[in-house]
Amino acid sequence: MLFANKSAAEKRQGLRDDLGSGRLLRFPGAHAPIVARIAEETGFDGLYISGAALSADMALPDIGLTTLSEVSARGRQIAAATDLPAIIDADTGFGESMNAARTVREMEDAGLAGCHMEDQVLPKRCGHLDNKTLVSTDEMAQKIRAASDAKRDPNFLLMARTDANGVEGLDATIERLKAYLDAGADALFPEALTGKKQYETVRAAFDVPLLANMTEFGKTPLLSAAELAELGFNIVIYPVTSLRLAMKAIEDGFAAIMKEGTQAGIIDKMQTRERLYEVLKYEDYNSFDQGIFNFKL
């Protein structure tokens, strides 16, 4: 009731087992604990905590302005809200190799099931924007090695992301990912692939878990879960979908109030108080409180 029933270790083991099944796992973006709760109710396999969504929630652009403490704190809150495993975006590891090692420890302590780190130079840019600059393959491999060596739970999923496709091309993407895998990555995230052929080529090059990013308004076509499963990918994320849905609804609602002078005409677009309390498990808290309050020796 108050927290997730599964321990962090159980969630990590569950994620590893699910990855071993070969089926496609669907991880919607959850930028807040209440969003994570709805994702669990809906039946998703896990949660993805997007750096872009967390930055936007803080009214910041996604250029590496958030700190390790800010990101890990939000990750801890989200991970505690459900029994789903959560993978978090750790940007560039919040520094160099030693920072990447600390990042893994912090994410483990926060109850996350895994994280990914990318090979951009700070200030980083959204993976679907142009003019990104990458660190050298060797530098990123050193960072992945440090992060891998820092793991205490072998089931914590360390994922290496490369943004090379839009900068150096697909061949370089594959070569970079091979180096990161050799350095200790457990899974791979080729960002901003541009079509099915590229997905097929990357899949043919590796026999480890691969992640597909189905972000809206980007360079990647929005492939269906069935298409991604056929392509052999293991995890699909919808990183900013929940934030975009919520923000559009807020914009439309506020505009209606300004125009009409009341929210009466948009009540039907709102989550009801009853439904909110259901998501929050309000009655469970009430029952718990009543049971403690009424206890007598």
Q: Which residues pair with 27 in a beta bridge?
A: 237
DSSP 264: G
> Length of the chain in residues, anyone?
297
**Amino acid, res. 291:** G
- Please enumerate in sequence order all residues whose Cβ is within 8 A of that of 139, keeping only pairs 6 or more positions apart, or say none: none
Token output for 27: 């991880």
With the C-alpha atoms ordered 52, 57, 63, 66, is the resulting torsion angle positive or negative? Answer: negative
Tell the burial category of 19 from Cβ atoms under 10 Å away from its Cβ (0-12, 13-18, 19+). buried
Q: Buried (b) or exposed (e) across 109-130, using 16+ Cβ within 10 A?
A: ebbbbbbbbbbbeeebbbbbee
State the pLDDT at residue 296: 60
pLDDT tens by residue, 156-204: 999 999 999 999 999 999 999 999 999 999 999 999 999 999 999 999 9
Task: List the Cα angle 10/230/182 in 5-degree steps.
Answer: 60
What residue type is assigned to position 273 of the chain?
R
Spell out the per-residue pLDDT of the chain, length 297, in tens.
567 899 999 999 999 999 999 999 999 999 999 999 999 999 999 999 999 999 999 999 999 999 999 999 999 999 999 999 999 999 999 999 999 999 999 999 999 999 999 999 977 766 666 667 999 999 999 999 999 999 999 999 999 999 999 999 999 999 999 999 999 999 999 999 999 999 999 999 999 999 999 999 998 999 999 999 999 999 999 999 999 999 999 999 999 999 999 999 999 999 999 999 999 998 888 888 776 666 565
Quick one: residue 119, left, alpha or beta (phi over 0 = left, psi -120 to 50 = alpha)?
alpha
Q: CATH fold of 8-240, please? A: TIM Barrel (3.20.20)
User: Domain limits of the chain?
Assistant: 8-240, 247-293
Distances in Å between the Cα of 24 and the Cα atoms of 15, 20, 86, 233 are 12, 10, 16, 6
Name the residue among 41, 42, 37, 66 with its Cα closest to residue 50.
Answer: 66
Secondary structure letter of residue 101 according to DSSP: H
- To the nearest 10°, report the CA torsion of 228, 239, 187, 11: -110
Residues annotated as catalytic are: 48, 62, 89, 91, 116, 118, 126, 161, 191, 213
Rounded to 10°, the helix 33-42/273-280 angle is 90
Bridge-based pairing state of the strands 157-162 and 86-89? unpaired
Q: State the distance between the two ends of the chain, measured CA to CA, in whole angstroms.
A: 24
Q: What is the pTM (predicted TM-score) of this model?
A: 0.94
Q: Name the one residue in this structure whose structure tokens are 């919607």.
A: 28
